[in-house]
Structure 1
Amino acid sequence: MKSLLCLALLSTAAFAVDYPRVIFSDDFSADGFGKAWGHYKSASVVKGGVLVGITAPESDHNAVDVIRIAPETDLEVSVKFQLVSDQAKGFNIWLDDKDYKGSHAGHICSITVNPKAVVVADAKTGTFSNDIYTRKKAVPPTLTAEDKANMQKWTKSTPTTVSFKEWHTLTVRTHGDVVETSIDGKVVNTFQSPGVAHDHKTVVSITTNKVDVIYDDFSIKGVAK
């Protein structure tokens, strides 16, 4: 009980800060993606004032739409989203560092939203750290009991309900080693883990888990310098 109270107090203190500095924003009112966007195995399109997340049927990887930024430690990422049918499996916001070599693809932290839960993972320390990722992808996998325990330790899943065919707003805030996830202004998940404190976050991306997720009003903000 004491540790839970300490984490609650930490979260309150950590997020008594503002993120006034707009690093990037897009309301998708233009025709097509702007030049700032990059893509990885994505068939996503911008049309009708929204980003339509699409993974091509033949793709071996979910669609990733990417914004690269100058190095930042603490960020606020916000996006409106809608799960437009029950075919929508959800999406991820990834905070990464393209120059970091200690994890697969420079993955630092992921926030997954699906119809039933919000899952936050310290990818740098856990599942995507090079040693664990290599053993996970071996044929057959060679994960140790310690690996499996660490993968659970550096992940926090919080049950929630995200309704279909309605707009919601996701807000992700990092401060030090804490990441706070809110949906429609209500804090859903607060997670503390060492990898979150990585001080060179240079990539923010949206990964659409297959199809039927649309997005609007995407923004990346930083703390005052």
Structure 2
Amino acid sequence: MNLRFLTLASFLTVSTFAADAPKLPAVAAAKEKQMSGELRKPAEPTAKKKELLFSDDFERAELGKDKGWAIVVPTFSLENGALKGTQMRFDAPAKDGKPPVKGHQAVIGNDIPTKDSVIEFRFRLGGAQSVTAEFDDRKFNGSHYGHLCMARIAADKIILVDQKGLAVARPEGATGEPPTPKGRKNISFPLSLDPQAWHSFTLETVGDTMRASIDGKPVAFLQSPGIAHPTKSKVEFGCMGQGGFFDDLKIWNAEPVK
């Protein structure tokens, strides 16, 4: 091959690569951000409120059953006009012939069927590590306890989780991790919250998306197939740790914003 032609071709190749090279990290970073959800926090609401399904201001002496509440995992009480969660189940090894105990956050639930919805409440973390809002379908046996999707709020982050299809009972003798349902995702976004202050929280669930806002600002967004489960028959609220609070809870039916 002509040496002059080879030298020219090499120069063009190197020049082309050099011109493109600075762009590659930026493109990769943008794709990584998009994959992580950092570019997926819609500034405007994704759900339009319809009829109000449920509300509770907790302004009474006792929790009672008139509002339909049932404690799933101990325990909850009312304190100064707010709902207080106190975790009472912690990890413990087998002892004195008793089986080991698996720790679990305190959970309270209510049968409020929805498909698309908006949940609003105020919360104060207090001494708790996190508080949660979760949708379940107890008749759905494709997930542990019918869990579908959840938002978990801590002082330093919020996590949105597609739980559908997770931790399903497997045949005896099965080994290894259970398969992850196709397309299922969860996502974490950083926060910086004062745990002793009250904050407002909004969770919009429409189609296969969840959008969360705290104190009126969008903080998290997730699109994942399990969120679209059509029969979200139960809503639950959880507290991991001691003394997390909920107040002024409202739940609406909703429809996607067009």
Bin the TM-score by the shorter chain.
0.7 to 0.9
Structure 1 CA distance, aligned partners of 2:186 and 2:243? 26
49, 57, 60: which one aligns with 2:81 = 49
The separation in 1 between residues aligned to 2:60 and 2:121, in whole angstroms, is 17
Equivalent residues of 1:95, 1:201 under 8 A apart? yes
* Cα-Cα RMSD: 3.0
Q: Greater shift after overlay, 152-161 or 197-206?
A: 152-161
Correspondence for 2:137: 97
Partner residue of 1:124?
164
Could you tell me which of 196, 199, 205 is aligned with 2:227? 196
Deviations 1:37-58 (A, max 9, x none): 0111222101320111112266
Task: Tell me which moved more, 165-174 or 29-38.
Answer: 29-38
Structure 2 length-normalised TM = 0.72
1:143 maps to 2:177 = yes
Deviations 1:14-66 (A, max 9, x none): 71x42131111100002211421011122210132011111226684221111
**1:194 counterpart letter in structure 2:** P
Q: Percent identity?
A: 26
Q: Say whether the 8 Å CA contact 2:131–2:238 is kept in structure 1.
A: yes
Separation in 2 of the partners of 1:152 and 1:141? 22
Equivalences, count? 210
Please give the residue correspondences for 1:72-87 in structure 2 after superposition, counting only pairs within 5 Å.
72-85=114-127
When the two structures are superposed, what TM-score results if normalisation uses the length of structure 1? 0.82
Which AA in structure 2 matches 1:114?
A
Match of 2:204 among 173, 192, 206: 173
Is the 2:42–2:218 Cα contact (8 Å) retained in structure 1?
no
Partner of 2:192: 161
Task: Give the Cα–Cα distance (whole angstroms) in 1 for the partners of residues 86 and 175 of structure 2.
Answer: 30
Q: Residue type matched to 1:22 in 2? A: L
CA distance 1:10–1:94, shift in 2 (3 Å): closer
Gaps in structure 1 of 5+ consecutive residues: none
Query: 1:106 deviation in Å?
Result: 0.3
